[in-house]
Chain A
Amino acid sequence: MSVKAFELVPAVERDLLMGDKARINIQCIECCGKHLYVGTNDCFIHHFLLDEVTSSKGKLSYSPQKLLHKYLGLKKPVAELRAASALERLIVLCDGIVFLVDMVTLETVPSAAGGGAKIRGVTAFCVNENPVNGDPFCVEIGVLSSKRRTVQIYMVYEDRVQLVKEVTTPEQPCALSVDGYFLCLALTTQYMILNYKTGASQDLFPYNSEERRPIVKRIGREEFLLAAPGGLGMFANAEGASQRAPVNWSESVLGATVCFPYVVALDESFITIHSMLDQQLKQTLSFRDGHILQDFEGKVILASTKAVYVLVPLPLERQIQDLLANHRVEEALILTEGAQRNIPKDKFQILHKRILQQAGFIQFGQLQFPEAKEHFKKGQLDVRELISLYPLLLPASSTFTRCHPPLHEFADLNHLAHGDQDKVLRCKKFLISYLGEVRSTEVANGCREDVDTALLKLYAEQDHESLLDLLASDNACLLADSVPWLEKYHKYFALGLLYHYNGQDSAALQLWTRVVDGDLQDSTRSDLYEYIVDFLCTCSNLDHVWKYADWALRKDPTIGVHIFIKRPVSTDQSELKPDDVVTYLGKHSQALLLYLEHLVLEKRIQKEKFHTHLAVLYLERVLSLLSESPTDEEQLARARERLQALLRESNLYRVQFLLGKMDKYEQLLLERATLHGKLEEHDKALHILVHKLRDFPSAEAYCIWSSSCRDSAYRQQLFHMLLGVYLDGNLSGKSQTAAGGGSGDLEMAAVDLLNRHGEAFDAVRVLRMLPDGWSLQLLRPFLGRAVRASMHTCRTSQIALGLAHSENLQLLHDRLKVQKKPIFVSEKKGCHLCHNTFTEPDVVCLPGGVPVHTRCVAQRVRDSPTKRQLTNSSKHT
C-alpha cells in the first residue's frame, strides 16, 4: 500500500454552489476544459470556470469562478449533463427528456424546423467517444428508454437529434457505454456486448443489476470496465474476453474510471486506487458522501452531494521516487515500465535507466546481488558509480564524480554495511564478479582503466585467483595506482606481470629474483624460479638474459641452462650466438656440458669446435671418475658410454687430439679402438679389440660399424682383416697362451665369425686362409652357406645366359624377315620418330620394317636404356 498516486483537491465548495440551502444536492457534473457544469436536484445548471493555481511550493489548487446558473424549468433533478463542445451544446437529461442547452447561455435550444431536438422517455444515455461516423459536427449518443427493451442510437446536431439505429435487447438495459459499433450494456441479470451494426451479441457474465448498481465504463478502444459480482472490477473487450486481471473493489462501488495505470473507484466512504499493472491496491483516500466519479479528458472529478473535487495525479516520477524511497523496487519498475506509452520515447529511456539504476542500488544495499546486477546491467549503470562506493578503489587519477541527484543514499560501503565486515566482504565479492562480467562490455567503454584497476585491487585484496589472469591478458590497470596496492598484499609475482605488461621487464625480473632469493615473501608460485628461467628464455632483451642468466645458473645450472637451450628459434637480433653462449658458460661447467650436448646431440650443429669440446668434456669426466678411488663403476660406465657414443657417431671432432689425450690410459682401450677406426687404422683398432680387450663381439661390431656407410667390398675387407687377426693370433699365441686357453678362444671366435657372417666373406679366400687341421663339421654352417651361395650365383648366370641367347635368336629372325622385303622410302613418307620427310636414301629400319632417320635413331639410342636391341636390328638400305 501507500503509494501516493493522487491528491484530492477541492474544486467547487459548498458555499459557492448552494450556500446554506440544505436540501440542494449535486446530481451530475460535466467538465470541458476549464468549464465545469454542475446539475442539481432542483433543476439548475451551474457553470463555473476552474482555474488551476500552483503555489510557490508547487502545490496545486483551484480557484473556481461562478459564471452562470440557470433553472431549466422542469422541477426535476438534472440527471445527466454531457458537453458537445464542437456544437457548443450541453446534452441534458432531465425528467426523462434529453434536450440541448447552449453551453454559454445555458438557454434551451429550440427545435429546428426540420426535426425535434428532444428525446423522451429516456432513462440513461451515453456519448460515443469513438464514433464510427467521422462528422465532427454531430455527436453520437446511445439512449436507453424506460419502456422498451431497446437501445437507440441518435445523432445529435446543433439544433436537432436524429434516430439512426434501434436495437432490441433480451432484457431491460439499465446502463450502457458505446465504443465504435459496440454497445456494452448492463441488463437486468447480466452484462453483454452488442454490435449495433451487425446485431451480433456476446454475453459477458451474470450480474444482478437490481441488487447492485452496475458500472459500465469505457476505458479505451473497445475495452470496458465493469462491476462484477463479489466487488470485482472486471475488464472486458469488445470480443467478450478479459485481457487484464480484475481488481478487487468493495461490494458497494458507485463509480469507477481508469487513470492510467490506475483504476480509481468510489464507494460510500473511500476512493480506492488499484494498479492495473499488478492488481494491487495502492492508495485509499477517505471521501464521505461521494456519489459521482467521472473522468473528463483524463481529469478525474468527484463530487459529494455538496462539493466538487479534482483527483490530481502526482507526477509519475514523484510516485516512482516515493516507491523507491520505500524500497518498493518491483512496484516502482512496474509503474515506470507501465508508463512507457505515456511518455516520449527518449524521455522514457532516460527515466527508465535511472529508475533501474536506483532499483539496483536499493537491492544492492539489501545484498540482493543477482537482482541488483540485472538492474545495473539493464540500466547501463556507469560502473564507476558502483566502484566509487568502495573506498580507494577508483584510481587517484580518475575524473569520475557521482551523478546528481545521487542514485542512492550510501556514502560508502562501510556506511552501507554499518561496519558489518561480513557484508562488506559479500559486497566486494559481488563487485568482483560484476566487474569481471562487464569489463569487456561496452559498459566499460571510456573507463576501462578505472574498472581494471579497481578489479586488480579487489583481486589482490581478496587473494583472488583471477588476479593473474587479469594481468596476463589484455588489461588497462594503471601501474602507478596498482604498485603500492600489490606490494601491500605481497603480490610480487603479479606486480612483476604488471611491470612486464607495461614493458618494464627489468623491474619485473628484479622483483621476482628477490622473491626467489627470499628477500620478499610471495607464495603465488612455488616454481617462480622455473618461471623466471622460462621468462628469460623468451625474453627478447638480451641484456636481461645476460644479466640474470648468471643468477639462474648459480641457482640451478641444469634448469638455468634452459635459458639458452629452450630459447625459441628466431631470426632477429634476439638470437643468441652459440659461441657467445659457450664462452659465457665457461664458468658453469655443468651448464656448459648440457649446452654443448644440446648443440651437438639435439641440434646437430656440425661444427668441429663444439664436437671436440664436448668430446673433451666427456673424456675429462671419465678421467676424473677414473681418478677417484674407489671408482663408482656405475657412473663410470655411463660416462664412458656417452663418450663412446659421441666418438662413434660424430665425424667432426679432432681425433688425433683426443687420441693424444687418452694415450696414457690403458682403461680406455675401447675408446682408442674407436678413434683408430675413425682414422681408418683398422689393424690397430682390431688389434686392441682382439688382443688387448679380447672383446670379440665388440670387434665384430666394430667391423659392421666401420663399414656401415661403405660398400660390401670394404666390409669384406674388414671382416677378412678380423679373421686374419684371429687366425694370426691363433698361430702365434698357440705356444704362449696354451695354458690360459686363449688361443682356443681366438679359434672359436674365428669359427663364430665365419658361421655368423659367412656372407661377408670371400669363401675361396677364407678356405685358403684356414688352418688345415680344422674340421669340416666346425665350419659346416659357413661352408653350407658358401656352397649354396655359389650355386645360386652359378644358376642365376646360367639363366641370364639362356635368356640372352633366345633374345638374340629372336632378333636374328626379325632381321631375316626384314631383309626379305624391300623398304620404301620416299620424300612423301615421314620418319616415325621425328615425323619429318626423308631427304636422303640413308635410313635405319626399326623392327617391323619401319624406316626412320639415322640421326633420330641415334638420338633414341642415346636416350634409351635398351641400346643393344636397336643397334642390333639396324640395317642400311
Chain B
Amino acid sequence: MPELSKMKKPDVKVVLLGDMNVGKTSLLHRYTERKFKDTISTVGGAFFLKQWGPYNISIWDTAGREQFHGLGSMYCRGAAAVILTYDVTNWQSLAEIEERFLSLTDTANHDCIYAVVGNKADLTDPKAQMYQDSDVSKDQTECGEARTEPQVLSACPTPPASPASLSGMILHKQVTHEDAVALYGRILRYKGLDEKDSLPAEKMCFETSAKTGYNVDTLFETLFDLVLPSILRKRNENQRSPTVDLEEFRGGSGKRARSTCC
C-alpha cells in the first residue's frame, strides 16, 4: 500500500461494517488489489487510500469481532458512506447489521449514505460465480477451481442445464434481495429519513462476490460517485474555516484578558 505512506489527507471516508467473516476485508482486497486471497481476521481495523479523480478517499475496513466493537463509532465518525455488509448464505449476518452495527453509524455525517451489501453471492448465484474479473489473468489465487471452471463453461455455447453442475456447491441463499431492500427501508427509518428523499433501495442494495469480483467495482464506484458532493461540501467548509478560527481566537483572548485581571 504505497499510497498510505504518502500520508495524503483523505477528503472523504467510507467505512465497511458488518459481522466477522462476511468478507469485508476480502471485498476491500478485491477492489484494491484485484485479487482474492486468504485473509486473516482483521485486528482492530485497517484502511486504504483510494485516489478517485482529484480526491482521496479513505476506505476503512473494520473488525467484526465483538472485542473491537467499541471502536466502530470512532471509525464511523465523519463517514460519508457506510457499507453494511452481510453474507448471503447467513441470515444471522443480516440480523447483526441491525442489532449491532447500525447504532455505530450514529457518528457518521448527517448526509451519510448507506449501502447494504450481500457478499459471497458466488455461493448462491451462478451469474456471480461465473463472473470473470477483467484483470483476472494476473493473479494467482488459491481457489483454482473457481477460476478455471467458468472458463471451460464459457467455451460451451449453451448454459449448463442445472446450476448444480457448476463448480462448488450452490448453497442455500438465506437472504434474498427483498430482505436486503426491507432492511434498507428500516435503516432509513432508523435514521429518520424519508424514503422519497433518499437514494432508492434498488440502487443501494448490492450483491457481490469478493471471490469472483462480481459487482465489487460497481459497489465502490457507485458509492464514490455518490459521495462526491460530500467531498465538495467538505472542501468548501475547509475554505471557510479561517473565519471560524478567527472567531474562536477572539473569544479566547477575551477570556484570557479576564483571567489575568482577577
Q: Chain A: residues with CB nearer than 8 A to chain B?
A: 132-133, 164, 197, 203-207, 228-230, 232, 234, 236, 239-248, 277-279, 330, 333-335, 337-338, 340-341
Contacts and interface: CB of A to CB of B under 8 A. Distances in A.
Given A205-B74, A234-B74, A241-B77, A337 B45 contact: no
A204 B74 contact: yes
7 contacts: A133-B256, A229-B71, A230-B44, A234-B74, A239-B77, A242-B74, A248-B44
Given A278-B1, A334-B2, A241 B74 contact: yes
A111 B68 CA distance: 49
Nearest to A134: B256
A330 B1 CA distance: 8
A245 B10 CA distance: 13
A337 B8 CA distance: 12
B1 A229 contact: no
Nearest to B255: A197
B95 to A, nearest CB: 23
Interface of B: 1-2, 4-7, 10, 13, 43-47, 58, 65, 67-68, 70-71, 73-75, 77-78, 107, 252, 255-256, 259
A234 B6 CA distance: 20
A164 B259 contact: yes
B146 to A, nearest CB: 25
A581 B97 CA distance: 94
Given A197-B252, A246-B45, A246-B71, 17 more contacts: A132-B252, A133-B256, A205-B70, A228-B70, A229-B70, A230-B65, A230-B67, A230-B68, A236-B74, A241-B74, A242-B71, A242-B74, A243-B10, A245-B46, A278-B4, A337-B2, A340-B6
Contact of B2 (A207, A240, A243, A330): A330
Contact of B75 (A232, A242, A279, A334): A242
Given A205-B70, A205-B71, A333 B5 contact: yes
A146 to B, nearest CB: 26
Contacts of A203: 73
B4 A277 contact: yes
Contacts of A207: 70
A103 B70 CA distance: 44
Nearest to B72: A205
Contacts of B71: 205, 228-229, 232, 234, 242, 246
B109 to A, nearest CB: 11
B46 A333 contact: no
B2 A333 contact: yes
A334 B1 CA distance: 8
Contacts of B75: 242
A572 B232 CA distance: 66
A248 B4 CA distance: 18
A246 B44 contact: yes
B43 A248 contact: yes
A184 B10 CA distance: 23
Given A164-B259, A229-B67, A242 B45 contact: yes
Contacts of B252: 132, 197
Contacts of B259: 164
Contacts of A243: 10, 58
A240 to B, nearest CB: 5
Residue of A246, A334, A340 with most partner-chain B CB within 10 A: A246
A203 B74 CA distance: 9
A279 B68 contact: no
A135 B178 CA distance: 64
B54 to A, nearest CB: 20
A426 to B, nearest CB: 17
B73 A205 contact: yes
Residue of A132, A207, A242, A277 with most partner-chain B CB within 10 A: A242
Contacts of A246: 43-45, 71
Contacts of A234: 44, 71, 74
For the complex of A and B, the 5 pairs showing the least CB-CB separation, nearest first, are A246-B44, A206-B70, A241-B77, A232-B44, A334-B5
Contacts of B256: 133
Contact of A240 (B1, B67, B74, B255): B74
A247 B43 CA distance: 8
Contact of B43 (A205, A232, A240): A232
Nearest to B79: A241
A302 B16 CA distance: 38
Contact of A337 (B5, B13, B43): B5
A229 B68 contact: yes
Nearest to A230: B67
Nearest to A233: B44
A338 B44 CA distance: 22
B39 to A, nearest CB: 14
Contacts of A340: 6
A232 B68 contact: yes
A338 B7 contact: yes
Contacts of B6: 337, 340
A337 B2 CA distance: 8
A206 B65 CA distance: 15
B161 to A, nearest CB: 42
B208 to A, nearest CB: 23
Contacts of A132: 252
A203 B70 CA distance: 11
Contacts of B73: 203, 205
A230 to B, nearest CB: 4
A278 B77 CA distance: 22
B72 to A, nearest CB: 8
B47 A245 contact: yes
A337 B68 CA distance: 31
A278 B5 CA distance: 8
B70 A338 contact: no
A776 B75 CA distance: 118
Contacts of B4: 277-278, 334
A851 to B, nearest CB: 87
A23 B4 CA distance: 48
A189 to B, nearest CB: 10
A337 B256 CA distance: 42
Contact of B78 (A230, A241, A277, A341): A241
Given A239-B77, A333-B5, A279 B67 contact: no
Contacts of B74: 204-205, 234, 236, 240-242
B78 A239 contact: yes
Residue of A206, A207, A243 with most partner-chain B CB within 10 A: A243
Nearest to A162: B259
Contacts of A278: 1, 4-5
A245 B44 contact: yes
A234 B73 CA distance: 13
Nearest to A341: B7
Nearest to A337: B5
Nearest to B259: A164
B236 to A, nearest CB: 18
A228 B2 contact: no
A375 to B, nearest CB: 11
Residue of A132, A133, A234, A244 with most partner-chain B CB within 10 A: A234
Nearest to A248: B43
Nearest to A244: B47
Contacts of B1: 278, 334
A229 B255 CA distance: 39
A204 B46 CA distance: 17
A327 B45 CA distance: 27
A240 B5 contact: no
B18 to A, nearest CB: 18
B112 to A, nearest CB: 13
A133 B74 CA distance: 30
Contacts of B77: 239-242
Nearest to B65: A230
Contacts of B5: 277-278, 333-335, 337-338
